[in-house]
Amino acid sequence: MSLSKKQEEWLDKNSSDAENFANVPEGLSTEEFWREAVDKNVWALKYTPEKWKTKELYLGVMEYSYWPSYYRNAPAGFDPKPQTGYDPEQVPEELRTEAFGLAVVQQKGISMEYVPDALWTNEAFCLAAVRLKGWALEYVPEALKTEALCLAAVQQDGNALQYVPEAQKTEALCLAAVQQDGDALQYVPDSMKTEPVYLAAVQKCESYHVDGVLQSVPDAMKTEAVCLAAVQKNGMLLEKVPEARKTEAVCLAAVQQDGWALQYVPEVLKTEPLCITAVQNMRNVQDAKYLLAYVPEAQKTVAVCLAAMQNDGWALQCVPEVRKTEAVCLAAVKTNGWALQFVPEALKTEALCLAAVQNMRNAVDAKTMLDHVPEAQKTKAVCLAAVKRNGYALECVPEALKTEALCVEAVKKDRDAMQYVPEDKKDAVKAAMKKKG
C-alpha cells in the first residue's frame, strides 16, 4: 500500500529533523508511513510506535546503520549507539528468531553484529549463516567451529579461511578455500602450500591479483601447470616464469593472452605461428610496429608481416624491404593510410594510393598524403578521393586534373578551398555551389 499525498507531504517537510517524529498526527501513522520515515531518517526509530516495529522495519533500518564496523576502533568509553539511532538490542525479543538472524546475514551491507548474540550459540544457525555469508565465521564461537562448519564457510567465501582455527586448517580445507577464491592463499599455512593449492590459487584469483599470487609461489612449485594458469590470465607474467618452464605451450598461451609477452619468449621458440599469434593479439593495435622489433628477422615472413599490417599499417616501416609485397603494403594502407610513405615507389599503384587516401585516420591529413603519391598516380580517382576527405587537398591536385566537377567536390567539402580553384573555373564553381544551396 502506497503513502497518501498527505503522508508524503508531511515526510518531505519534516524528515530532516528527527524530533518532528515525536508529533506525528494520528491520522498519518501507519506501518508504511513509519517504514518510509526510518528510511528517510534512521533516528525516527526512536519515535516509532511499538506496533509498527516489525522485522521488515528493523532490517530496513540496518541498511543505514554502520556503527559496528565504523566505530569498532573507537576510543575507550565511546558509545556509538546514540550516534546512529539504532541499537541491535532494541529489537524486541519476540523478533530475535533464527529467521530474523538469517535475514540479517543475507542482507547486503549489514554487519553481523546486528545478529542477536543468542543466535551465535546455536550450531544450526551458525551453519546456515556461513552458508549464506562465509565470512560470518568470524562471529561463530570457537567451540562451534567444526570441520564441517569451517568447510561450508570457505566453500561460500574462500577468504573465510582467516577465521578458521589453525588446528582446523587441513590441506583439503585449504584447497577448498583457494578453489573458491585464489586470494585465500594468504591465509594458508606454509606447510599446506602444496602444488595443487598453488595451482588452484592461480586459477581462481582475480586477473589483477595473479601477479602477486605467482610471486608468492616458490620456484620449485612453479610447475608447467601453475605457469600455464598464470599466463592464461596475464600473458605478461611470462617474464616471471622460470626459463625451464617456458615451454611452447606456456609461451603460446602467454602471447594469446597478450601479444606483448613475445618479448619474454626464448628466441628458439619464436616460430612463425607463435609470432603471428602475438601480432594478432596486441592489446593496443597501434603497438604492432614496436612488437615487430621482438620478431627475429628470420621470422619476419610475409605471413607475420601481413598479420602485423592488419593491426596497424604504421608497422610497415619495420618490415624488411624484401617482405614489402603488394599484399603486405595494401593491407598496411588499408589500416593506416599514412603507411603509404613506407611503400616502395614501384608498388605505389593507383589502387594502392587510392586505398591510402581513403583510409586516412584523420581526414585533415588527406592533403598532406597527396605529397606521397607519385605524380603518375595522381589520377582523377585518387585526387577526387582526396578532396572528398579534405577540400584543401585541391592545392596538391595537378592543374590538368582540376576539372569543374572535382573543384565543386572540394569546395563542397571546405568552402575555403575556393582559393585553389583555377581562375577560369571559379565562376562556374560558384554557380554550381549556389545551385546546390
Mean pLDDT of all residues in the chain?
86
pLDDT for residue 18 is more than 90? no
CA-nearest of 103, 116, 204 to 161 is: 204
Sign of CA dihedral 254, 255, 256, 258: positive
pLDDT of 108: 54
Measure the CA–CA gap between 197 and 70, rounded to whole angstroms: 35
In the structure, what pLDDT confidence band is assigned to residue 83 with cuts at 50, 70 and 90? very low
pLDDT for residue 78 is more than 70? no
Report how far apart, in Å, the C-alpha atoms of 52 and of each of 47, 58, 281 are.
10, 10, 61
C-alpha 424 chain-centroid distance: 59
Using one digit for the tens of pLDDT, what is the confidence trace for 375-407?
999 999 999 999 998 898 898 899 999 999 999
382 neighbors 357 (Cβ within 8 angstroms): yes
Cell of residue 223, nine digits: 610447475
N- to C-terminal Cα distance for the chain? Answer: 62
pLDDT of 165: 96
221 neighbors 213 (Cβ within 8 angstroms): no
- Helix, strand, coil tally for the chain in percent (to 5): 75, 0, 25
Roughly what angle, to the nearest 10 degrees, separates helices 302-311 and 272-280? 0
Roughly what angle, to the nearest 10 degrees, separates helices 350-358 and 326-335? 20
Quote the pTM value.
Answer: 0.65
In the structure, what pLDDT confidence band is assigned to residue 72 with cuts at 50, 70 and 90? very low
Residue 373 one-letter amino acid: V
H helices present in 52-146, as ranges: 55-62, 67-70, 81-84, 98-106, 123-132
Using one digit for the tens of pLDDT, what is the confidence trace for 173-224?
999 999 999 999 999 999 999 999 999 999 998 888 899 899 899 999 999 9
219 neighbors 196 (Cβ within 8 angstroms): no
Using one digit for the tens of pLDDT, what is the confidence trace for 328-372?
999 999 998 989 999 999 999 999 999 999 888 776 677 778 888
Residue with C-alpha cell 582446523?
A: 168
Instruction: Quote the DSSP letter at residue 353.
Output: H
CB atoms inside a 10 Å sphere around CB 416: 10
Measure the CA–CA gap between 152 and 406, rounded to whole angstroms: 77
Instruction: Among 22-36, 52-66, 71-85, 259-273, name the one with the lowest average pLDDT.
Output: 71-85
Cell of residue 209, nine digits: 591479483
**Which segments within 124-253 are labelled E, that is strand?**
none
Cell of residue 232, nine digits: 592464461
pLDDT of 115: 77
CB atoms inside a 10 Å sphere around CB 326: 14
Report how far apart, in Å, the C-alpha atoms of 430 and of each of 166, 375, 402, 423, 435 are.
89, 28, 15, 11, 9
Residue with C-alpha cell 585541391?
A: 394
pLDDT of 61: 64
CA-nearest of 404, 400, 397, 395 to 427 is: 404
pLDDT of 63: 56
Using one digit for the tens of pLDDT, what is the confidence trace for 128-152?
999 989 999 999 999 999 999 999 9
Domain residue ranges in the chain: 270-346, 348-437
